Amino acid sequence: MGIFEKFRTQPRWKHADPGVRMAAIYELGTDEQQVLSGIVRDDADARVRRAAVSRVDDAPLLGDVLRTDPDSDVRAEALRRLVGLAAETSDTETARAVVAQLVDAGHSRELVVVARDSAHADVKAVVVEAVTDSRALGAISRQATDGPTRLLALSRLSDADELCQVALRSEYTDSAVAAFGHLIDPGSIAAVAQRARNKVAMRKARARERLLEDALRAVRPAPAQAPTMSGAAIRPHQKPTVRVSVKPT
């Protein structure tokens, strides 16, 4: 090693003191992603790694941290960062990369948050198309703030119990009524008729109940008629009256 190498100043993010390294992370520019990635992978101090994770834009790296970092706070920061990237981006490719990591790590609940809160319709569509969990799809159908996202999620939902939950619990007419249209179980229809939050879905369920009742009455056999004698019905346990005519002698 040359004499000048010995005296060359090391960057602060390589300092022996973790506090100095952590402070140096916030001095790095947003274009220094390679340096930040190296810190995330190699720094021995969890606090330093967490600080670096908060500034990383690399979705695959964040997903790897989320799955493998030994520190729970670092993993939580990686999850927060992924959700933030998905919610803030308007670029569908970025959204697709982030969503793939969340799906792979099994974080369906966070995907529901992105589909509900993102301001970008294309990003919401990317999220919905990536979700396969029935409960997550049902939650998006009930909670998303725009109709196209709610109905897209509903179109991918086939679980009868979740469809019933959408019809029961959604306050939005489009998703509640559309979900009700898929119901065939009389018990589910009765539940919607009695307890649906959306009044239009409730009215439709009550109308369907009346139609079902009318259909049952139409096919129900008529009650059996009691046998009659001389056109008069004989009551149960009543002996027929026999009249005898006696001619006068």
Average pLDDT, the chain: 88
Task: Indicate the pTM of the whole model.
Answer: 0.76
Distance CA 211, CA 220 (A): 14
The structure tokens listed for 125 are 């569509």
Query: Under a CB-based contact definition with an 8 Å cutoff, are residues 180 and 172 in contact?
Result: no
Residues 88-126: tens digit of each pLDDT: 999 999 999 999 999 999 999 999 999 988 999 999 999
Distance CA 111, CA 76 (A): 15
Query: What average pLDDT does range 218-240 have in this prediction?
Result: 59
> What pLDDT, on a 0 to 100 scale, did the predictor assign at position 246?
46
Query: Under a CB-based contact definition with an 8 Å cutoff, are residues 136 and 124 in contact?
Result: no
More confident residue, 218 or 1: 218
Q: How confident is the model at residue 7 (pLDDT cuts 50, 70, 90)?
A: very low
Query: Under a CB-based contact definition with an 8 Å cutoff, are residues 179 and 167 in contact?
Result: yes
Query: What average pLDDT does range 238-249 have in this prediction?
Result: 51
Asked if residue 216 has pLDDT above 70, the reply is yes
